[in-house]
Amino acid sequence: MKATARAQPNIALIKYWGKRDVDRNLPAVGSISITLADLSTTMSVEFDASLRNDTLSVNDRDKPAMLPRVSACLDNVAGKQREAARVISSGNFPIAAGLASSASAFAALVVAADAATGAGLDTASLASLAGAASGSAARSLYGGYAELTNAGDDVAVRSLRSADEWPLSVVVAITATGPKAVGSTEAMEISRKTSPFYSRWVEQQELDLAEARAAIAERDFGKLASVAEHNCLKMHSVMWGSRPPVVYWNSATLACMQTIRALQARGVAVFFTIDAGPQLKAVCEPADEAQVREALTATEAVQDVLVSGLGKGAAQVADG
């Protein structure tokens, strides 16, 4: 009744922002992401009849505040009549800082919980269960380039390309640590209810998805760069136009954007994307990784830089 799984965070190039059904956590738009290789969350789930309640430890600390969302996800995988579970999570990157820690956490959680019950659900069902807990988590069930589509009453995720077929590098510039002021779940609802740009955002998403899908099929870096930066800045414009405004950037985020523009002006194949946090993620060809890393490390107020290739989807690992 115990199993362990590992999942990697994913970075959206065409973003999920907004929900069409809040109760079931269904997204308003499709999205396309890349799954990382070198940052990961390892999660073990043990169902134990002697426990009175679920327990959760994250990086060796009890985290009761996060427990309700974890327990609800376990109910969805194992059924409400399940035994209580001991959940132990550990990650090798900062959580709650706009680095999609919830994506890798819930992807690993559904895989571990499914293995612990012995149910053996398929990847599509696990992706749907992970997405019900956190929309972006559905994509971390798949490696490389993944697309999430709204399918009737559910979501459907598929792999557009494996990491090996088009290996790109991701350089993450950490510009602030610590939890963000507004969680993405809450911020999406503020956008939906108040931003005058929200409906146009939803309407236009299919165009951006089609362009990114084609760029990935053709392995056209310039095309992917152009549509990914456009989609990212459009999503943040929706947030900036909401009331209250939601601004995740700090001055170092902008300094990092200028660093990317300077690299692009020198002919380096690199582009940026920014999620619900102040970190900037630069995507580049592996040959340019060292140069991008150096330039972001030298950018004022950047605290740390993480580097990763693209990797595989969530999977069970041997219990340790």
Residue 310 DSSP class: B
Out of 2, 25, 204, 264, name the contact with ligand DP6 by CB under 6 A: 25
Binding mask 243-282 for ligand DP6 (x = CB under 6 A): --------------------------------xx------
Out of 12, 56, 170, 239, name the contact with ligand DP6 by CB under 6 A: 12
Q: Does 308 bind ligand DP6 (CB under 6 A)?
A: no
Q: Provide the terminal-to-terminal Cα distance of the chain, rounded to the nearest Å.
A: 14
Out of 30, 91, 94, 135, name the contact with ligand DP6 by CB under 6 A: 135
Alpha carbon of 197 to those of 18, 76, 179, 235: distances in Å? 12, 34, 27, 9
The Cβ-side half-sphere exposure at 158, using a 13 Å CA radius, reads 6
Query: Where does this chain touch ligand DP6 (CB under 6 A) — which range of 132-140, 191-199, 264-272, 288-296?
Result: 132-140
Alpha carbon of 285 to those of 48, 126, 139, 161, 219: distances in Å? 47, 31, 22, 16, 11
What tokens appear for 200 in the block?
């146009």
12 versus 36: smaller Cβ distance to ligand DP6: 12
Q: Does 15 bind ligand DP6 (CB under 6 A)?
A: yes
Out of 4, 31, 42, 55, name the contact with ligand DP6 by CB under 6 A: 31
The Cα 189–Cα 172 span in angstroms is 27
What tokens appear for 19 in the block?
């929900």
Q: Does 184 bind ligand DP6 (CB under 6 A)?
A: yes
22 versus 298: smaller Cβ distance to ligand DP6: 22
Q: Does 150 bind ligand DP6 (CB under 6 A)?
A: no
Out of 123, 162, 185, 250, name the contact with ligand DP6 by CB under 6 A: 185
Out of 5, 8, 16, 257, name the contact with ligand DP6 by CB under 6 A: 16
Residues in binding contact with ligand DP6, number by CB under 6 A? 15
CB-CB contact of 248 with 281 (8 Å): no
> Minimum CB separation from ligand DP6 for residue 183, in Å?
7
Q: Does 102 bind ligand DP6 (CB under 6 A)?
A: yes
Q: How many CB atoms lie within 10 A of CB 104?
A: 32
The three-point CA angle 113-134-99 to 5° equals 105
- Pairing type for strands 55-58 and 85-91 reads parallel
Of 121, 123, 118, the C-alpha closest to 137 is 123
27 versus 295: smaller Cβ distance to ligand DP6: 27
Helices (H), the chain: 67-78, 101-117, 123-133, 184-194, 198-218, 221-240, 251-265, 289-297
Q: Does 35 bind ligand DP6 (CB under 6 A)?
A: no
> Minimum CB separation from ligand DP6 for residue 118, in Å?
28
Give the interface with ligand DP6 as residue ranges (CB under 6 A).
Answer: 12, 15-17, 25, 31, 100, 102, 134-136, 184-185, 275-276
